[in-house]
Structure 1
Amino acid sequence: MKPLSKGRYRARLADTDQDLCDCQRLRWQCFLARTGEIDDGHGLDADALDADCQHMLVEDAASGRLVCTFRFLPLADGSQIARSYSAQHYDLAALGRFDGPMVEMGRFCIHPDHRDPDILRIAWAALTRHVDEAGVEMLFGCSSFVGCDPDTHAEAFAMLKDRHLAPRRWWPRVKAPRVFRFARVLRLRQPDPRRAMAAMPPLLRSYLAMGGWVSDHAVVDPALKTMHVFTGVEIRAIPPSRRRLLDAIAYRIA
């Protein structure tokens, strides 16, 4: 994928060891600094999957400062699903039958000092171009809620239970030792749509707008102090109006 620009920002793939290090440093600042770990200026968030992934950088074009990053793991089809980060936390045997190209998107983060909505827009533009160029048929990953208290997220979980559970043919099953089975626990709760969407993580809201679906349970991650749900988006099922918006963002920028 060629670099692309929108306003003051540029998106490009990492192509040096320093690029990857910069991504891992930003991930540490976003995911680990808030857990109370002391920052000595050199902390990195890194794992074995980094070597198999492509890494996207969104930079301030003038300064070169990294303001957003995410990675994606390409899979030929569902037979390779066990390679994914998500498969460490969910039983994805059903998705093993998926017969088209897949991409796992992960470690998405935006620098805490930067809140310009154009950052998220160019990130989605870059991802849309990658999906198109690679012929991807399913996008998936883990969508995180900050904090491990399920009551804090109950309104959002109730909305997911009511409207956005995975199709039975792709149903993610429990694998992790600590989970919150929100579809079962909140089966009688009726969500307030406005409050639920306000409580939904921004990245997950974007997935849902594309027709995305989630697992019926959230995995509790005490190390990162988050709860996350498995999230899938079948590219062919994206509503036409949303697809037109994504294409406009991806192909009508410099």
Structure 2
Amino acid sequence: MSAVPNQQLLVDQSVDLFGRIGSLETRLARTPREIDAAQAVRYRVFVEEMKAQLPPDAMRQRRDVDAYDAFCDHLLVVDRAIEGDIEDQIVGTYRLLRQQVAIAHGGFYSASEFDIAPLLARHPEKQFMELGRSCVLPAYRTKRTVELLWQGNWAYALKHGMSAMFGCASFPGIRPEEHALALSFLHHNARVKGEWMASARSELYREMDLMPLEAINARKALAAMPPLVKGYLRLGAMIGDGAVVDQAFNTTDVLVVLPISSISDRYINYYGADAGRFAS
């Protein structure tokens, strides 16, 4: 049974499709049933694979569910080649939260780990969107699926006039020192500065500067990063100051900040034609 109210998400199917590659398509969830299926995919990845510990109700339901699900948009990757109901066809998902919606419902999820209020305050004329709960089933962790997710994010941002994206990206485990090479590379080479500066909350702050710059092998550091983090970097993202250990999800989190203006031209050109068409 879905945790999302039935009045939520009676989406016009003509405006929520963001891209197709072969049998895969990316679009917004249209019904509470589809959101429930996305929550089941999240449970499989976060709990069964990554060993997250969710609240007892969520563990009983075998769903990754929280209060944000009721008012976020849920981006899906659906494989139409899979026989069966929609529950069987959803293979990837992202949770999207626009600033206007976040303000109306008490703020962004990321604010529980990172001090993003100064970042938002420095850009009163800009609209931010938060990307969260990204996951893809193991068999679909391919370039094609990632491209579709990003085509969906990009089309959604264009459709709603967003100025910047941000969100948490995770390294496995709760010992930042096990990711010293990758975290140090991000600290020295991709840390946010100036008007886009944001830091981990002071009471949760964990140091990312674990190795000196001269000791870092960039190729090995990139190879040690989760694919999602590498994908963000390729798009032109910056990484916040300090990491946060999330005991419940068994992860070490960093904050990704991605101004739309920073996305490299080659990716805008790559996604732009289809995304512009689907967002119009």
Fold shared, TM-score > 0.5 on shorter chain? yes
2:67 corresponds to 1:48: yes
**Gaps spanning 5+ residues in structure 2: where?**
1-14
Structure 2 residue 145 is the aligned partner of structure 1 residue 119: yes
Once the two structures are TM-superposed, the CA of residue 103 in structure 1 deviates from its matched residue by: 0.7
1:73 aligns with 2:92: no
Contact 1:70 1:106 in 2 (8 A): yes
2:42 maps to 27
Of 10, 33, 37, the residue aligned with 1:18 is 33
Distance 1:171 1:43 in 2: 37
* Match for residue 164 of structure 2 among 138, 146, 151: 138
Match of residue 215 from structure 1: 240
1:91 matched to 2:115? The reply is yes
> Kindly tell me: are residues 145 and 40 of structure 1, through their superposed partners in 2, closer, same or farther at Cα, counting changes over 3 Å?
closer
The amino acid that maps onto 1:156 is A
Match for 2:255 among 208, 214, 230? 230
Q: Tell me how far apart the structure 2 counterparts of residues 79 and 36 of structure 1 sit (CA, whole Å).
A: 28
Structure 2 length normalisation: TM-score?
0.81
Q: What is the letter of the counterpart of residue 47 of structure 2?
A: L
Counterpart CA distance in 2 for 1:40 and 1:164 is: 36
**Cα-Cα RMSD:** 2.7
- Unaligned runs of 5+ residues in structure 1 are none
Letter in 2 for 1:240: D
Alignment CA distance shift 1:86-1:137 (3 Å): same
Q: In the TM superposition, what is the alpha-carbon distance from 1:218 to its structure 2 partner?
A: 0.8
In terms of mean alpha carbon deviation, does 43-52 or 75-84 score higher?
Answer: 75-84
The farther-off stretch of 21-30 and 185-194 is: 185-194
Do the aligned partners of 1:81 and 1:95 also contact (CA within 8 Å) in 2?
no
Structure-2 residue corresponding to 1:160:
186
Q: For 1:164, give the aligned amino acid.
A: A
Say whether the 8 Å CA contact 1:25–1:44 is kept in structure 2.
yes
Structure 1 CA distance, aligned partners of 2:38 and 2:162? 24
TM-score when scaled to structure 1?
0.89
Q: 1:80 to 1:235 in 2, by over 3 A?
A: farther
Distance verdict in 2 for CA 1:81–1:47, change over 3 Å? closer
Deviations 1:148-185 (A, max 9, x none): 222321111111111111123232233264432113x4
Q: How far is the alpha carbon of 1:56 from its aligned partner?
A: 1.0
- 8 Å CA contact 1:143–1:203 kept in 2: the answer is yes
User: C-alpha deviations, 1:51-92, integer Å up to 9, x for none?
Assistant: 120001111112251110111001149978961011111111
Cα deviation 1:72-116 (Å, max 9, x = unaligned): 001149978961011111111221222211110100000123333
After TM superposition, give the deviation of residue 247 of structure 1 in Å: 2.0
SS at match of 1:157: helix
**2:154 aligned partner:** 128
CA contact (8 A) 1:86 1:141 kept: yes
Distance 1:180 1:107 in 2: 22
What is the number of equivalent residue pairs in this alignment?
252
